Amino acid sequence: MIVLLSGFGSAPPQDTYQVDRVYDGDTVRLTNGEKVRYIGIDTPEFGKEFEYFGKEAAQANRRLVSGKRVRLEYDQELRDKYGRLLAYVYVDDIFVNAWLVENGYAQIMTIPPNVKYKDLFLKLRKEAREEGRGMWGKD
């Protein structure tokens, strides 16, 4: 199952941005220099620290968005304490945040007030765990 844009709330803004760099599974930099942190999810660390499934999560995110134009949808808070833009990210018709959860590359990390897709993420995580996708797979 691939989570598509339709059926998950209002359409994201039509402004698009190109991804310049993928830092890990849930953070990217746009060509305008903005760092974007995906809302509602948390992927294992890959960079200075290495956590189980971090490399796989970063590679999955890279395959989805690297060098591509993405649309950003915002929630209640626009930036985190580090100054990163907080967004739900879409590439073509794929809701990237949800896709990463659905395929076992991301955990859920909802921080109020940015909880717009919390129920969707919970449902997708449950399915990923039950079906042993990604980090939930059996070794």
Distance CA(9)–CA(129), nearest Å, equals 24
Q: Is 125 a catalytic residue?
A: no
Token pair, residue 138, equals: 């059996």
Among residues 88, 126, 84, the alpha carbon closest in space to that of 107 is found at 126
Give me the catalytic one of 29, 62, 69, 84.
84
Cα(8)–Cα(74) distance, integer angstroms: 14
Question: Looking up tokens 């626009």, which residue turns up?
Answer: 78
41 membership: H or E segment, kind and range: strand 40-42
Tell me if residue 45 is catalytic: yes
User: Does the annotation count 37 as an active-site position?
Assistant: yes
Catalytic residue among 29, 34, 45, 131: 45
Pick the closest to residue 19 from 87, 102, 78, 82 (CA basis).
87
Q: Are 100 and 60 in contact (CB under 8 A)?
A: yes
- Among candidate residues 37, 73, 102, 125, the one labeled active-site is 37
Catalytic residue numbers?
37, 45, 84
